[in-house]
């Protein structure tokens, strides 16, 4: 049966030997949920379905893969909201279509608190200046005796002191 787990065949088995398969569905859901949370967006996990005829055809061409193919966990298809929580229908181990109602208003408030594209910059504490003068190679890596801004780079400083060191670009 596709989706079955391989049971541990005895003690003393090391990691990667006989045991349960890697829980790919949980790992993919965790990664997708993290992306939804960070981007404050909805997510869709979509997996293909391997039916018995496909499984039989694969085994016919590669008989040595039979035990591996029979131990695989089928992928899942589902929806995630901007917090990473599952919403709507989900399906695993069967062929079908899943549905969910997505309310785009759920993305607005979280984006106001955590703007991942940087629209909430702090101009009162951060100042970036680019020195556009052409510099020789000797000034590119902050040679000794140089003053800030003499090398190739951008001057970064706080608005309180008006300047700072050199940050390479």
Task: Report pLDDT for 36.
Answer: 94
In the predicted model, what is the mean pLDDT of the chain?
A: 74
Calpha distance 48→161 (Å, rounded): 58
With cut-offs at 50, 70 and 90, classify the pLDDT of residue 110: confident
Q: According to the model, what pLDDT value does residue 142 have? A: 64
The mean pLDDT value for 95-120 works out to 82
With H, G, I as helix, E, B as strand and everything else as coil, classify residue 76.
Answer: strand
Q: How many CA atoms lie within 13 A of 69 on its CB side?
A: 18
Percent of the chain whose predicted confidence (pLDDT) is above 90:
31
How far from 151 is each of 4, 62, 144, 155, 158, CA to CA, in Å? 62, 61, 11, 10, 19
Position 27 confidence tier, pLDDT thresholds 50, 70, 90: very high
Give me 122's structure tokens. 């702090």
**Between these two residues, 38 and 158, which has the higher pLDDT value?**
38
């Amino acid at each position: 049966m596709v989706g079955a787990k391989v049971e541990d065949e005895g003690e003393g088995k090391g990691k990667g030997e006989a045991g349960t398969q890697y829980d790919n569905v949980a790992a993919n859901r965790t990664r997708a949920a993290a992306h939804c949370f960070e981007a404050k967006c909805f997510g869709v996990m979509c997996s293909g379905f391997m039916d018995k005829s496909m499984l039989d055809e694969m085994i016919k061409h590669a008989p040595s893969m039979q035990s591996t193919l029979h131990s695989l966990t089928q992928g899942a298809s589902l929806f995630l909201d901007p917090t990473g929580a599952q919403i709507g229908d989900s399906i695993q181990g069967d062929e079908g279509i899943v549905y969910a109602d997505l309310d785009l208003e759920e993305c607005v408030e979280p984006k106001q608190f955590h703007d991942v594209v940087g629209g909430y910059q702090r101009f009162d504490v951060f100042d970036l200046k680019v020195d556009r003068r052409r510099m020789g190679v000797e000034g590119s890596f902050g040679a000794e005796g140089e003053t800030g801004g003499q090398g190739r780079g951008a001057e970064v400083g706080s608005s309180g002191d008006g300047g700072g060191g050199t940050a390479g670009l």
